[in-house]
A and B are shown apart, each in its own frame.
Chain A
């Protein structure tokens, strides 16, 4: 069936079976392969995208449920020219190795810092505990998110 929504600021119309997850739709119909599928049961968080600004597991949401929504994937949080401040912070703190879980951490951290740019280390750990990384041991990821707070505070101040 036909489903219409916005992905990374662009209107899309997809033909997806009702049982198709949003994750599979993004990856296979729209070819946005930055969103990764790690468990398909909502535990690992690799498939996290933003739906109307909220971090959502796209493996637990059907594509048809995205009707009328604004979806943002890791591609939508990136640009060609340079890494974003959050991405730079991940790179600086070596917050990724194999990179498979990384898009889920970027989207989750972006949603957190947009809502709570003043969050402390415990809050960061608490929110990130819904995403699994098997390579880094999380120390670098938490440092990276904490270090990126200033940028989000500046952004919030400008609004």
Chain B
């Protein structure tokens, strides 16, 4: 029997519990003797923390303890422990990392200052009002330009608000610019977004004093790494810490990174020797979960007069917020490394500066740096095409990397020594397909046309999406007592459907019906020897490839064990549903209950899926309102394990991207006060906003660097949405000479573009 579960749009096994309200998210876990943690957060953006007096709060009935920095040591200078960086952990970043609780200064609104433990969350919240805090306010740094003046300094000893400059280099850009016949320079910027998860963050910890063991519920994304951080901070060996992944209500890069609370709650449980649970509310989530995106660039592109790109050069400035968090540097790194996207650019020189400001710290959000880069560069291409009088599609085709040029090297980034290359693909083919699906000959006639008071515009962009971050992933298979098989993975679920996908891969590899795969367990630290988690669109590729290796080892072990019983050679043993056969005899699989084998996949190369977005929109010039008439995404993913869930990834990430393109923006005033603390202020897409979206998934160019041929594909929808929408708006409002240079494309901003165009025409 040769299975073909891979490639089949299978309905998800996770759905059976989620649809009936039987998922178990961390707040659903009950625990006797539980105390609830509520966190006192700074309402001041920048200041010296003079004193905290919790004596009144401690007298409130039901309050068990109030924990502050005074209760803990562990940092390098005797202060509270520091949260180290997970990705790009450069020594330059060390002084800017976040303490788990404020001790000398507060640096953003929302920074934890004290933890109240009470018999209910309501009593804990009552107690917050009884804690007296004295903060000596300092001038706030509310944007990168203020940071760059270095007048008010966040980290006194550093003397600068700039934590680093990434340098992306390829060829000799300055020389190419010196001889260039045409140069265009623009300043562009993106808004501040975040990977808002519908389930707020939560942590529950229990401490077993007799065994000296800590159990942490609510782990997500990278539990093994977070266990190592916690182990070092709290002074317990990793074997004495178990991280449990419950159902996870969304990730998007933001959830599951190590946050201050991931130390504070386990510490509290051990401190009071009682189970402690903390579930954040939405306001906390908006002001404490990693922010992302807010980047500004000053970009120059050099071309020949007929549109061959010669070089790019420029600066990017990222508003990092108050601390360098675990993966905070990824966006600023990616934006300079991948500025050129799928285009052939021989010379690159981009400096990407990271500025510390008094805002919530930055981390990754789906398509980190790539969303921004795509907006910056695709905007430039349309501006250049118009300037040079070249058709913008012809301009793109002229510069897209061809399959013959693969693998194609991208810019080299220092000081992380990041070298990378695209793996495979025909970028022009997906663009052609997208134009065909949108019916280009027909819709292209509508460009800039005014019909019923609305202007029609078409946006066309291309993208690449990186995936499959190494270095390693682990999988294990085991025979259950009833002769079914369980799969264990070192990667995690953030809601993407990995239980279904890994069951498909395992069933194909073992050549058994998919229902023989009883359970797929993932994330928790007890299942496999090591794990790397769910980020950089890596779960399917890395976990799936590890699973293929585990299946090979599992079958070898099974054949050897069965051969002894069957009296035949191991090579002659075959697995037939729930029996092992060989030498004319048969033995039940359940006889080998407990047999288990692990497998790994090691990989230092990245996959690059790629595609095109084409949007047909209308713009109401009076209201500044955008409507999508039709939106097509074509993405080549190498190999789609489950086309149903893959389509969900593409459309879902597209709508997130459209949110960032049109609606979402985290706002602060000049004092660093957070202005968007509710879902009535931070606008998310709803069902009425973007109804007409279509996606097409291709498998024409499998990845050459993993046995599945799959490419990471969870971010392609989001990466190109900002660039595509901005180009569509420019195309619609061409009669006003409108060139959007920032996101989001809010009604106010579009109205201003129209007004500016009308003023210019009147002059």
Contact = CB atoms under 8 A, between A and B. Distances in A.
Interface of A: 17, 19-20, 27, 31-41, 43-44, 46, 73-75, 78, 83, 87, 90-92, 94, 96-103, 106, 121, 124-126, 128-142
Given A40-B281, A94-B11, A98-B495, 4 more contacts: A99-B14, A101-B198, A102-B18, A134-B198
Interface stretch (B92-100, B246-254, B457-465): B246-254
A41 B284 CA distance: 13
Contact of A98 (B22, B250, B282, B644): B250
Contact of B20 (A87, A92, A133): A87
Given A19-B122, A91-B12, A98-B198, A134 B25 contact: no
16 contacts: A27-B27, A33-B27, A46-B198, A83-B16, A91-B11, A92-B11, A94-B12, A94-B647, A96-B15, A99-B17, A121-B691, A130-B686, A135-B250, A136-B652, A136-B655, A138-B687
B244 interface: no
A8 B441 CA distance: 56
A46 B41 CA distance: 26
Nearest to B497: A97
Interface residues of B, number: 58
Given A38-B199, A94-B12, A136-B652, A75 B21 contact: yes
A68 to B, nearest CB: 24
Contacts of B16: 83, 91
Contacts of B688: 125-126, 129
B248 A98 contact: yes
Contacts of A34: 20-23
A40 B15 CA distance: 25
A114 to B, nearest CB: 17
A78 B648 contact: no
A138 B686 contact: yes
A75 B11 CA distance: 21
B656 interface: yes
Nearest to B197: A134
Contacts of B439: none
A1 to B, nearest CB: 15
Interface string B16-59: 11111111110110100000000000000000000000000000
B441 to A, nearest CB: 26
Contacts of A73: 21
Contacts of A121: 691
B684 interface: yes
A100 B19 contact: no
Given A43-B679, A128-B687, A138-B686, A96 B19 contact: yes
B687 A129 contact: yes
Interface of B is mostly: loop
Given A91-B11, A100-B199, A83 B281 contact: no
Q: Please name the 6 residue pairs, one residue from A and one from B, whose CB atoms are nearest each other, closest first.
A: A34-B21, A98-B495, A99-B18, A100-B249, A137-B655, A74-B21
A140 B687 CA distance: 10
A40 B247 CA distance: 20
B381 interface: no
B418 to A, nearest CB: 30
A137 B28 contact: no
A125 B30 CA distance: 36
Contacts of A101: 198
A78 B28 CA distance: 18
Interface of B: 11-12, 14-25, 27-28, 30, 122, 196-200, 247-252, 281-282, 494-497, 644-645, 647-648, 651-656, 678-680, 684-691, 693, 717
Contact of A96 (B18, B494, B685, B690): B18
Nearest to A136: B652
A83 B15 CA distance: 10
B19 A90 contact: yes
A128 B686 CA distance: 8
A137 B693 contact: yes
B648 A94 contact: yes
B250 A38 contact: no
Contacts of A132: 198, 679, 684, 686
Contacts of A19: 122
Contacts of B691: 121, 125, 138-139, 142
Nearest to A32: B21
A135 B647 CA distance: 12
A87 B11 CA distance: 12
Looking at A40, A99, A102, A106, the one whose CB has the most chain B CB atoms below 10 A away is A99
Given A91-B15, A132-B686, A142-B691, A103 B200 contact: no
A137 B15 contact: no
Contacts of A43: 678-680
Contacts of A41: 282, 678-680
A74 to B, nearest CB: 4
Contacts of A92: 11
B680 A134 contact: no
Given A36-B25, A94-B648, A74 B196 contact: no
A87 B27 CA distance: 24
Nearest to A140: B648
A134 B653 CA distance: 9
A134 B690 contact: no
A142 B199 CA distance: 22
A141 B21 contact: no
Looking at A19, A33, A100, A136, the one whose CB has the most chain B CB atoms below 10 A away is A100
Contacts of A139: 651, 691, 693
Given A34-B20, A41-B282, A91-B12, A134 B693 contact: no
A93 to B, nearest CB: 9
Contacts of B252: 134
Contact of A74 (B20, B247, B717): B20
A44 B198 contact: yes
Nearest to B693: A139
Contacts of B497: 97
Contacts of B28: 27, 33
A41 B22 CA distance: 24
A83 to B, nearest CB: 6
A141 B25 contact: no
A98 B651 CA distance: 15
A33 B15 contact: no
A140 B18 contact: no
Contacts of A99: 14-15, 17-19, 23, 247, 249, 495
B495 A39 contact: no
Contacts of B250: 97-98, 100, 134-135
B725 to A, nearest CB: 15
B172 to A, nearest CB: 43
